[in-house]
Amino acid sequence: MTPSAVVDVHTHFVPKGWPDLGPGQPWLRVESEREAMIMVGSAEFRRIASNCWDAEARLSDMDADGVAAQVVSPTPVFFGYGRPPGEAAKVARIFNDLALEICAPAPGRLLPFCQVPLQDPDAACDELDRAVAAGHLGVEIGNHVGDRDLDDAGVVTFLQHADSLGIPVFVHPWDMPASPRTDRWMAQWLTGMPAETHLSIIAMILGGVFDKVPETLRICFAHGGGSFAFWLGRLDNAWHRRPDVIATSQQPPSAYVSRFSVDSVVFRPEALRVLVDTLGATQVMVGSDYPYPLGERPVGEVVDRSSFLTPDQRTAIRTNNARRFLGISEIVTTTMTK
């Protein structure tokens, strides 16, 4: 492992096409060899480029940024949590198998994470078993299923199963509430996503999930954990001052910060310092949100610009924490043969 190598725990893929999922469901309008548009029914959702599906393009960008390996996770629009469980399970199988094809040219560098039909705990556990047996290293889940948050009994059952397999879980916000106030300026992404993640970490704590699942559960929240670290003091204060309402966890909220990780895609050293000071350097890993426009390039730049980090902290955030999260001892650094 060279000093410049980075393990990126937060990237996404989109296959270059998939079988018809039915009316009103996501499909891909391919516009050229390098460009396509994700469609949801007749609506344009997001323009993407070939680095969503082309391993060579991804590896070229990784080499340019000094990224040794990246977790390749689903794009949340494909989760299908609002569909009947059988349909969502079919979609998960399709996208999980396509993810393995995308990652196949660079084993050890492109690390596939699967999706599951989280609305049905039994089906979710079955698909996790199948995907892991096929080669997936972990699973990405959305931060809620409709009005059910991560403290829902079915979700807790799934998290317990993931822990029993030793499989890491990456939580990504999705399906943010829409309103006239958030339908402009990308406000759903700029305010809704951080708020969704903050809310779901609170649900894990106050909903007693961390009291129910083993400490061995490896779980990471995207986008620096939203606004959670900044407002942990407010949460602790409320836990002590209004125990009649929110003292529903066995310990104060700050006692649980060692139970989960967050990624580093917060863009400014001042924000990264809040994460490190509040959660600890052992709980932060490089994440970029590659290849989407709101992600960080070069990958890990905010870590490199954070002069307050000690050499050991920087190494932990860039590499070692991710290796522990992923349960891997070595990172492959060779580039793909062209």
Per-residue burial over 313-324, b = 16 or more CB atoms within 10 Å of its CB, e = otherwise: bbbbbbbebbbb
Average pLDDT over residues 68-73: 98
The string of pLDDT tens digits covering residues 239-274 is 999 999 999 999 999 999 999 999 999 999 999 999
Position 182 scores a pLDDT of 83
70 pLDDT above the threshold of 90: yes
99 pLDDT above the threshold of 50: yes
Query: How confident is residue 333, by pLDDT bands cut at 50, 70 and 90?
Result: low
Position 336 scores a pLDDT of 39
Proportion of the chain above pLDDT 70, given as a percent = 96
334 pLDDT above the threshold of 80: no
**Which token pair is 186?**
């990308």
Position 335 scores a pLDDT of 44
What is the C-alpha separation between 182 and 193, in angstroms, rounded? Answer: 11
Poorest-pLDDT segment among 35-49, 176-190, 209-223, 285-299: 176-190
DSSP for 114-159 reads E---TTSHHHHHHHHHHHHHHT--EEEEES-BTTB-TTSHHHHHHH
Contacts of 190 (CB under 8 A, 6+ apart): none
Position 331 scores a pLDDT of 65
**Cβ atoms of residues 265 and 295 within 8 Å:** yes
The string of pLDDT tens digits covering residues 3-12 is 558 999 999 9
The string of pLDDT tens digits covering residues 271-314 is 999 999 999 999 999 999 999 999 999 999 999 999 999 999 99
SS3 43: strand
DSSP H helices in the chain: 55-65, 85-103, 121-134, 153-165, 187, 193-206, 209-212, 232-241, 243-246, 269-279, 301-304, 311-315, 321-326
Position 193 scores a pLDDT of 84
Position 191 scores a pLDDT of 85
The string of pLDDT tens digits covering residues 215-244 is 999 999 999 999 999 999 999 999 999 999
pTM of the model: 0.94
205 pLDDT above the threshold of 60: yes
165 pLDDT above the threshold of 90: yes
The string of pLDDT tens digits covering residues 80-91 is 999 999 999 999
Query: How confident is residue 176, by pLDDT bands cut at 50, 70 and 90?
Result: confident
Q: How many CB atoms neighbour CB 232 within 10 A?
A: 21
Phi and psi dihedrals of 218, rounded to 5? -105, 110
Question: Between residues 294 and 175, which one has the greater pLDDT?
Answer: 294
Q: How far is CA 66 from CA 51, 305, 313, in A?
A: 17, 15, 18
**Cβ atoms of residues 284 and 317 within 8 Å:** yes
